[in-house]
Amino acid sequence: MQRFAMGIEFCGMRYKGWQTQQPGVRSIQQTMENVLSKIADEPIILHGAGRTDAGVHATNMVAHFDTHAIRPIRGWLMGTNSQLPKDIAIQWIREMDQDFHARFKAQARRYRYVVYNHPSRPALLHKQVTHAYYALDVDKMIEAAGKFEGVHNFESFRAAACQSNQPVRHVTHCRLIRHGAYLVLDIQADGFLHHMVRNIMGCLLEIGQGMYEVEHIDAIFAAEDRKAAGITAPPDGLYFIQADYPEQFALPHVPLGPHWLNLPE
């Protein structure tokens, strides 16, 4: 039995998220398992570093699978990519020891959320970024983003359907990057709750519009109630970009994504 890890890039526009769901519902995991099972000529179960919502994208979703099939690395990579839909692609693949696990060995996960702040909507980036046509106080949003760093109870920032046992998370960094008309929220944590990043971005957008002051975030945390927070930002601008693992696994370093995502800090 061999274990392989891979990095997957996908556009989530046509999918109901990463995780396999009921029959007839298109997911990234199920789509990939179907193709890998054909290549391996045996059933394949794929384990991802995290889950993504419907419409959310990824530039380097780490996943792994086990198989008895003997194929060269190039065969796995080229064979799978040739049969996958054009909006899903394996970026790299390598054989791993059995103690590697894409989900349970991940020490941190990182997302970026992209907002295009311009009066006119972007046609070429349709569903790739979130369009904010209104004026924003970006300096205030940058200040507010820092309040999410550290260890906090994120009860107010998770969806009602969240299945996590507890809402405390350690956010190692949360910063907003401004580059022309693009605003990119870069956030890394030991784990994320359902809709957590989208709810944080929704809060920052409301602060940017002048609906609340920066200190309002403290009151939202203290409330420990989803109703205390504001809107859930759309999935369009959200990207899973990275999962961190112990150095012993030596996974490849890949770019964070296309130019509107991989902006200078």
Question: CA dihedral defined by 232, 233, 236, 239, rounded to 10 degrees?
Answer: -90
Catalytic site includes residue 53? yes
Q: E strands along the chain, which residues?
A: 2-10, 47-48, 57-67, 88-96, 108-117, 130-132, 150-153, 168-179, 182-189, 238-244
Q: Report the candidate in 81, 73, 71 with the shortest Cα–Cα distance to residue 31.
A: 81
Q: Tokens 């390598």 identify what position?
A: 94
Query: How many angstroms separate the CA atoms of 148 and 152, rounded?
Result: 8
Q: Which residues 6+ apart lie within 8 Å of 26 measured at CB?
A: 14, 15, 16
Query: How many angstroms separate the CA atoms of 31 and 36, rounded?
Result: 9
Buried b (16+ CB within 10 A) or exposed e, 43-52: ebebbbbbbb
Name the active-site residue from 41, 53, 87, 137. 53
**CA geometry: angle 182, 191, 165, nearest 5 deg:** 135
**CA geometry: angle 66, 69, 70, nearest 5 deg:** 115
Name the DSSP letter for residue 247: G
Catalytic machinery residues: 53
